């Protein structure tokens, strides 16, 4: 769902073009009487609501069924305040916002702990409950009769209808602008990263829970504003507008357009405002119609109509690209030493130019310790972990010195990956102690550990599928997001500082891609890369944050000889810059070549530790590998 | 134990010489020489890939004769488990055919293959953790559920083979030790009365003694005439029980031969310990 | 005291209905990992068809019951077909899409019910009319039967899960569908059986409750909500979880009806939600039940 590069979106003012194009289609239709003004104005209202859902689902992959509740509260707040306190529309809107914000923060805190389906269930329960409360609490909400007499908006000498239409579409445009900025920014990238893989996002330093909660609250505010405008437009509120079938209508608009494509939302909203009128006057018919339509859309176009169109276009584009010859890497095979040397050479140049600048700062850190043995950056003491009856890690202790490359080897199921998960906070430490970079790491969340300067890759590459190659690296480079409200607002308003930050991150990421030889594929979707290159991108994502400790899980597996050679050069140059690396690897030639020291794990226990030469001769290691 | 002690230079990075010599590949054909005429399972030029990625398995051919144990060796990521996933139907084939007892099962659903008698012991044992040991075993005989008496008999046989499980029959399988879980996994497969057995990394994450016990059981099964395809990273253990073996690398068969031939060849060690 | 007893009992029998819907959720979810929001719609459609057959066409209750069960079982099969039409072992179901599809089915059922039976609430025939006096509390026979049948169904299902091959294979699928397939279990068929079973249970709930809580076209959503709450409150213990969750929910709701006027009605709506939130904070795995998986 990522349309090209985000900075382009802002620069090209796509949002203005989109709205202008929309106006250019809609206004003539309206004046010629084909489209009722009513449809256009309410489209604006529902556009805001759909944007609210799209922010959550398109960016963060969270589908909330509770927004109909926020929408309802936003609508009833001005109605109730006007009835009891004769309050103005504006104060009613603000009151609705406050209530919704409080609710969203509370509910978000609870529901966002749940995994996807349960989040839907929880929010659905909330949405239906709001509807039930409105119907039951008749002294305040008027029950099934609803409430009327909502104050009107008048701008200067304009008629109330025109004033309201202006207010609605100006708000819609502003909120549209804000969410486009947000989705194109660092925060948007972090969100799409979470959508693709929350664990991996956390390991890039994104404070996943906090960011999600704040986004949920923001999205609830959108829904609230939309509700207040809805109430103002109708001049009255009635519980039927907030029933289950209304929720479905909104979902229909969201999916008709295709989530994540704001264009689609606009089309979906307008069409679905028009279509029910065509399906007949009967309410039963309308309900049945939207139900069936929804089922059909979910079924035929799971990505929405706009998504399907986009996909079709992309496929056409790819068919043309296919003429290009295959990657030489794919057919080169393994082991040709001449090729390897060539790889070294080509690659070495890239390093020389770029790595030097950074090296200075690193050396400073290492310099103090040049005489004595380098200090340990990772210390593990009596670390253990059990799964059911299995001891995955059993009383392991070791330490890794700064600026060295340490390998962790051992047969399948020896506990190597578990060890990395414990070090990076992906699994919580229950037995033993882990300290890194002078901090106690046990009990810290993965994003905290990542922000301390410990980055990792995964055994089965976990790139963010919803981001391009360079965006993946940028997420690493930007050190994630602490998910604060300040961050959201800064990015939503596209302040100049955030823009220059983004440009810097982009430049730095591009430099990293150059360093691993992938600069020419920066704007490709990650799924278009072969497996080996994806692993290299993952390494780039980890090192782009300039970490002090790098944890690599079987990065060389699946790389061909050239790529392995590149990786080797990269790891060595990082070591020279003071980065400490702990890597899991099965390719012994690779391990023996690159490691300063090696740890051997078998059945969760440390069975050997030492230099490559020593480990190579260790009988226990030979037995573990080839079998006794 | 037929495997020789590896010499020092076996692991040295210096052995990063070019890919297998073609002569070795061509020498690999005498496969059929020792094998009986009609194999129970034959895999013909199989290719497979995970959703949309490049093929993980390319043009793999392999035959398993009745009463024979064939080992599939190779390092991590060589495509061993992918091969087994396509054989059990969890992964679709891109190309090639799988013939089991004369029937083409290439497009058959996983459960239909079990009904035909092609039973798999999955990697990592895959206990139904909340179910008891007995329930796990019984579910292994799901395809024979219409024959309760026969099932009872098989269950008794399994308990006779693994007396330990009999003691623990009412315990939740997830609470067993790794070795006991391996027994449940093997016993569960036996409950299906397999006509051929697919074993995926039986040594996975097990202590050496348990691995030895497991291989003793596997050897026993082979002696009883059950055809077995064994996927294993522990080469010497596997070669000690196997009649024949193939070595996979990067999704292709790079060597094949009798267990003795491969135990003596450089190819195995090279596959495991470096380029 | 008598009033309290009456509320207590009404709550339990009402809760039994919630429990039945919740159990339906649980059966389908454990077998297929799909959260079938259409669960309440089986109650809606089953209840409406039953009352139409019994009152308008004057069929004997048992015949109407049999026809309804057949009809609803077919609905269950159709749901399964629609939800997992594109699923293959190597391409597992997209849970978002599955849940959305079932939501669409809820609305389709709602629209269909509106078209056929109109907007007005209707009432089905009772198993046994009249009331019974227990310690001063006046209980409707129908709600006595509701509670009894709920408990019988729950016990029967528990037996099914433990003792039968279908039950065992459902539990196997709940643990690990891939392993289940490797054991020769036809995972699709187990899923279909679960959908059918849950549809039948849902329809029974709808038929039982219709003489007390009148049916209208929107009630499918309400049933669904109560079932979801029962399921979330109780925890993922196949039968016992939603059973206990449903009964607790029914009790709590009805206790608040002791408050006079609109307050009681309002509390009845808000408190279950608050209860759910408290639960999710305090005991996310539900009242009974192990860790909430996935």
Gap between the Cα atoms of A550 and B216, Å rounded: 42
Q: What are phi and psi of A237, to 5 degrees?
A: -125, 150
Q: Cβ contacts (< 8 Å) between B237 and chain A: which residues?
A: 627
- What's residue B105's pLDDT? 93
Q: Cβ contacts (< 8 Å) between A603 and chain B: which residues?
A: 205-208
The answer on A312 and A436 residing in a single domain is no
Considering CB atoms only, which of A111, A116, A128 is closest to C221?
A: A128
In a domain, A284, yes or no: yes
> Which residues on adjacent β-strands are paired with residue B229?
B70, B198
List, as one string, the DSSP characters of A396-423: EEEEEETT-EEEEE-STTSSHHHHHHHH
The answer on A259 and A236 residing in a single domain is no
Answer for the pair C191, C173: CB distance below 8 angstroms, yes or no.
Answer: yes
- What's residue A588's pLDDT? 76
The answer on A364 and A425 residing in a single domain is yes
**B126 reaches C (C-beta below 8 A):** yes
Q: Is the pLDDT of residue B129 over 50?
A: yes
**Residue in the block written with tokens 């397939």:** C181
B12·A616 Cβ contact <8 A: yes
The answer on A288 and A161 residing in a single domain is no
The domain boundary, picked from A280, A307, A324, lies at A324
The answer on A228 and A88 residing in a single domain is yes
In a domain, A597, yes or no: yes
Q: Which residues of chain A have pLDDT under 50?
A: 1-12, 279-280, 320-370, 628
Q: Cβ contacts (< 8 Å) between C82 and chain A: which residues?
A: 295, 299
Q: Cβ contacts (< 8 Å) between B176 and chain A: which residues?
A: 388-389
Q: What are phi and psi of C26, to 5 degrees?
A: -65, -45
- For C138-166, write each residue's pLDDT tens digit: 888 988 999 999 999 999 999 999 999 99
Chains contacting C (3+ CB pairs below 8 angstroms): A, B
- What's residue A316's pLDDT? 60
Answer for the pair C177, C187: CB distance below 8 angstroms, yes or no.
Answer: yes
Gap between the Cα atoms of C150 and C16, Å rounded: 6
- What's residue B97's pLDDT? 93
In a domain, A79, yes or no: yes
Structural domains of chain A, count? 3
Q: Cβ contacts (< 8 Å) between C185 and chain B: which residues?
A: 111, 139, 142
> Which residues on adjacent β-strands are paired with residue C91?
C88
Considering CB atoms only, which of B5, B8, B176 is closest to A616?
A: B8
B175·A389 Cβ contact <8 A: yes
Distance from CA of C66 to the nearest CA of B (A): 28
**B114 reaches C (C-beta below 8 A):** yes
The answer on A112 and A96 residing in a single domain is yes
- For C38-89, write each residue's pLDDT tens digit: 999 999 999 999 999 998 898 898 999 999 999 999 999 999 988 887 665 5
Q: Cβ contacts (< 8 Å) between A388 and chain B: which residues?
A: 129, 174-176
- For C111-144, write each residue's pLDDT tens digit: 899 889 988 888 888 888 888 887 778 888 988 9
C35·A120 Cβ contact <8 A: yes
In a domain, A292, yes or no: yes
List, as one string, the DSSP characters of A129-175: HHHHHHHH-HHHH-GGG-B--PPPP--TTS-HHHHHHHHHHHHHHHH
- What's residue C15's pLDDT? 93
- What's residue B26's pLDDT? 36
Distance from CA of A473 to the nearest CA of C (A): 28
The answer on A263 and A137 residing in a single domain is no
B128·C91 Cβ contact <8 A: no
Gap between the Cα atoms of C222 and C121, Å rounded: 14
Q: Name the H helices within A32-66.
A: 37-54, 60
The answer on A271 and A230 residing in a single domain is no
The answer on A375 and A461 residing in a single domain is yes
pTM, full prediction? 0.78
The answer on A90 and A129 residing in a single domain is yes
- What's residue A591's pLDDT? 85
- What's residue A350's pLDDT? 35
**B107 reaches C (C-beta below 8 A):** no
The domain boundary, picked from A217, A242, A267, lies at A242
- Beta carbons within 8 Å of C103's beta carbon, 6+ residues apart: A65, A248, A251, A294, C37
The domain boundary, picked from A242, A269, A297, lies at A242
Considering CB atoms only, which of B90, B142, B143 is closest to C178?
A: B90
In a domain, A494, yes or no: no
Sign (positive or negative) of CA dihedral A255, A258, A260, A266:
negative
Considering CB atoms only, which of B91, B122, B126 is closest to C90?
A: B91
Which helix (DSSP H) or strand (DSSP E) does residue C137 occupy?
A: strand C137-140
- What's residue B126's pLDDT? 87
A603·B206 Cβ contact <8 A: yes
The answer on A399 and A287 residing in a single domain is no
Beta pairing, strands B93-100 & B103-104: antiparallel
Q: Residue A343, class by beta-carbon neighbours within 10 Å (0-12 exposed, 13-18 middle, 19+ buried)?
A: buried
What's A432's domain CATH number? 3.40.50.300
Which helix (DSSP H) or strand (DSSP E) does residue B249 occupy?
A: strand B244-249
ipTM above 0.85, yes or no: no
| A259, A279, A299: best to mutate for the C interface, most C CBs within 10 A | A299
Residues of C numbered 204-233 whose beta carbons fall under 8 angstroms of chain A's beta carbons: which are they? Answer: 217-218, 221-222, 225, 228-229, 232
| Domain ranges, residue A287 | 250-324
B54·A330 Cβ contact <8 A: yes
Gap between the Cα atoms of A534 and B245, Å rounded: 32
In a domain, A522, yes or no: no
Query: Which of A565, A530, A567, A568 shows the shortest CA–CA distance to A335?
Result: A565
Cα atoms in the Cβ-side hemisphere of radius 13 Å centred on C84? 23
**How many A-C residue pairs are in contact by the CB < 8 A criterion?**
136
- What's residue A325's pLDDT? 39
Radius of gyration of chain B (CA): 19
Considering CB atoms only, which of B131, B138, B192 is closest to C184?
A: B192
Q: Is the pLDDT of residue B12 over 60?
A: no
Angle between the N-to-C axes of helices A160-184 and A208-234, in degrees from 0 to 180, rounded to the nearest 10: 170
In a domain, A179, yes or no: yes
Considering CB atoms only, which of C103, C112, C269 is closest to A248?
A: C103
Distance from CA of B126 to the nearest CA of C (A): 7
Tokens describing residue B152: 């009872």
The answer on A262 and A212 residing in a single domain is no
- For B159-216, write each residue's pLDDT tens digit: 999 998 999 989 988 888 778 889 999 999 999 999 999 999 888 767 767 888 899 9
Gap between the Cα atoms of A95 and A81, Å rounded: 9
In a domain, A83, yes or no: yes
Q: What are phi and psi of B97, to 5 degrees?
A: -135, 155
A589·B16 Cβ contact <8 A: yes
């Amino acid at each position: 769902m990522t349309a090209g590069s985000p900075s382009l979106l802002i620069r090209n003012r796509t949002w203005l073009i989109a709205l202008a194009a929309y106006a250019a289609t809609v206004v003539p239709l309206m004046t010629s009487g084909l489209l009722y003004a009513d449809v256009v104005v309410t489209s604006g209202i529902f556009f805001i609501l759909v944007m609210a859902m799209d922010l959550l689902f398109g960016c963060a992959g969270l589908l909330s069924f509770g927004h109909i509740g926020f929408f309802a509260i936003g609508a009833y707040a001005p109605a109730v305040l006007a009835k009891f306190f004769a309050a103005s529309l504006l104060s009613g809107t603000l009151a609705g916002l406050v209530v919704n914000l409080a609710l969203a923060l509370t509910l978000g805190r609870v529901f966002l702990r749940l995994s996807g389906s349960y989040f839907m269930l929880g929010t659905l329960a909330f949405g239906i409950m709001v509807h039930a409360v409105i119907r039951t609490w008749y002294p305040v909400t008027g029950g099934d009769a609803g409430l009327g007499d909502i104050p009107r908006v008048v701008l200067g000498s304009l008629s109330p209808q025109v004033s309201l239409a202006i207010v609605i579409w100006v708000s819609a445009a502003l909120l549209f602008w804000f969410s486009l900025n947000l989705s194109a920014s660092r925060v948007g990238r972090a969100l799409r990263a979470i959508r693709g893989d929350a664990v991996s996002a956390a390991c890039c330093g994104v404070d996943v829970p906090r960011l999600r909660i704040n986004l949920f609250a923001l999205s609830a505010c959108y829904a609230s504003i939309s509700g207040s405008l809805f109430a103002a437009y109708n001049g009255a509120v009635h519980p039927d507008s907030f029933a289950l079938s209304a929720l479905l209508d909104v979902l229909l608009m969201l999916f008709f357009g295709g989530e994540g494509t704001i264009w689609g939302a606009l089309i979906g909203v307008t069409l679905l405002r028009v279509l029910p009128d065509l399906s007949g006057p009967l309410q039963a018919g309308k309900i049945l119609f939207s139900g069936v339509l929804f089922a059909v859309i979910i079924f035929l176009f799971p990505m929405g109509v706009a998504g399907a169109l986009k996909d079709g276009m992309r496929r056409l584009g790819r068919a043309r690209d296919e003429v290009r010859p295959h990657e030489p890497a794919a057919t080169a095979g393994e082991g040709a030493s001449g090729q390897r040397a060539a790889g070294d050479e080509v690659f070495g140049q890239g390093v020389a130019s770029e790595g030097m600048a950074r090296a200075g700062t690193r050396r400073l850190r290492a310099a103090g310790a040049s005489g004595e043995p380098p200090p340990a950056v990772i210390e593990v003491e009596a670390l253990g972990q059990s799964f059911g009856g299995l001891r995955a890690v059993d009383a392991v202790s070791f330490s890794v010195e700064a600026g060295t490359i340490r390998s962790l080897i051992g047969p399948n199921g020896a506990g190597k990956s578990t060890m990395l998960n414990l070090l990076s906070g992906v699994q919580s430490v229950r037995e033993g102690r882990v300290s890194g970079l002078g901090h106690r790491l046990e009990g810290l969340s993965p994003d905290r550990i990542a922000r301390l300067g410990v980055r990792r890759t995964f055994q089965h590459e976990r790139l963010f599928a919803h981001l391009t190659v360079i965006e993946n690296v940028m997420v690493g480079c930007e050190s994630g997001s602490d998910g604060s409200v300040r961050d959201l607002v800064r990015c939503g308003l596209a302040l100049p500082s955030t823009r220059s930050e983004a440009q810097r991150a982009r430049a730095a990421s591009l430099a990293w891609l150059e360093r691993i030889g992938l600069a020419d594929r920066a704007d490709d979707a990650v799924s278009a890369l072969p497996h080996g290159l994806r692993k290299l991108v993952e390494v780039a994502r980890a090192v782009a944050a300039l970490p002090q400790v790098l944890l690599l899980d079987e990065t060389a597996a699946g790389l061909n000889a050239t790529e392995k050679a590149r990786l080797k050069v990269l790891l060595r140059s990082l070591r020279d810059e003071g980065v400490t690396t702990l890597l899991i690897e099965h390719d012994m030639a690779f391990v023996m070549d690159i490691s300063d020291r090696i740890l051997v794990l078998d059945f969760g226990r440390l069975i050997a530790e030492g230099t490559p030469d020593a480990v190579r001769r260790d009988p226990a290691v030979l037995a573990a590998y080839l079998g006794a | 134990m037929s495997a020789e002690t590896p010499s020092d230079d076996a692991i040295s990075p210096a052995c990063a010489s070019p890919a297998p010599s073609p002569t070795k590949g061509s020498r690999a054909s005498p496969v059929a020489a020792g094998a009986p005429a009609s194999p129970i399972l034959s895999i013909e030029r199989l290719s497979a890939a995970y959703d949309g990625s490049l093929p993980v398995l390319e043009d793999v051919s392999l035959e398993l004769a009745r009463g024979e144990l064939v080992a599939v060796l190779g390092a991590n990521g060589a495509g061993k488990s992918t091969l087994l996933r396509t054989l059990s139907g969890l992964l679709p084939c891109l190309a090639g055919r799988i013939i089991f007892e004369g029937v083409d099962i290439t497009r058959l659903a996983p459960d239909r293959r079990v009904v035909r008698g092609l039973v798999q012991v999955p990697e990592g044992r895959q206990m139904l953790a909340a179910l008891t040991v007995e329930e796990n075993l019984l579910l292994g005989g799901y395809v024979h559920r219409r024959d309760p008496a026969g099932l009872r008999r098989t269950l008794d046989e399994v308990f006779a083979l693994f007396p330990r499980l009999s003691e623990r029959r009412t315990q939740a399988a997830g609470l067993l030790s790794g070795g006991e879980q391996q027994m449940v996994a093997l016993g569960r497969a036996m409950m299906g009365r397999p006509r051929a057995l697919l074993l995926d990394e039986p040594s996975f994450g097990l202590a050496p003694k348990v691995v030895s016990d497991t291989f003793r059981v596997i050897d026993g099964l082979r002696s009883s005439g059950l055809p077995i395809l064994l996927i294993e990273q522990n080469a010497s253990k596997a070669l000690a029980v196997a009649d024949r073996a193939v070595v996979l690398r990067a999704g292709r068969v790079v060597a094949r031969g009798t267990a003795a031939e491969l135990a003596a060849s450089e190819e195995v060690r090279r596959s495991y310990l470096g380029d | 005291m008598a009033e309290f007893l009456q509320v207590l009992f009404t709550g339990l029998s009402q809760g039994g209905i919630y429990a039945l819907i919740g159990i339906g959720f649980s059966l389908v979810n454990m077998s297929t990992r799909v959260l079938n929001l259409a669960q309440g719609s089986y109650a809606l459609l089953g209840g409406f068809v039953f009352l139409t057959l019994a009152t308008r066409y004057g069929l004997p209750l048992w015949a109407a019951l049999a026809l309804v069960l057949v009809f609803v079982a077919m609905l269950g099969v159709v749901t399964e077909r629609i939800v997992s039409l594109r699923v293959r072992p190597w391409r597992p179901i997209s849970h978002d899409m599955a849940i959305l599809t079932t939501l669409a089915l809820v609305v389709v059922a709602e629209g269909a019910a509106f078209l056929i039976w109109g907007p007005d609430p209707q009432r089905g025939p009772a198993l046994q009319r009249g009331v019974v006096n227990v310690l001063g509390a006046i209980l409707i026979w129908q709600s006595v039967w509701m509670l009894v049948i709920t408990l019988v169904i729950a016990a029967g299902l528990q037996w099914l899960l433990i003792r039968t091959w279908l039950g065992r294979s459902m539990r196997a699928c709940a643990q690990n569908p891939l392993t289940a397939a490797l054991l020769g279990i036809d995972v699709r068929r187990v899923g279909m059986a679960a959908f059918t079973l849950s549809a039948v249970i849902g329809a029974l709930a709808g038929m039982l409750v219709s003489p007390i809580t009148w049916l209208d076209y929107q009630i499918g959503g309400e049933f669904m909500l109560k079932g979801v709450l029962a399921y979330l409150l109780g925890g993922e213990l196949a039968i016992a979880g939603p059973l206990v969750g449903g009964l607790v929910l029914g009790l709590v709701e009805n206790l608040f009806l002791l408050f006079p006027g609109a307050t009681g009605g309002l509390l009845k709506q808000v408190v279950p939600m608050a209860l759910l939130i408290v639960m999710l904070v305090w005991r996310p795995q539900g009242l009974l039940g192990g860790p909430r998986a996935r």
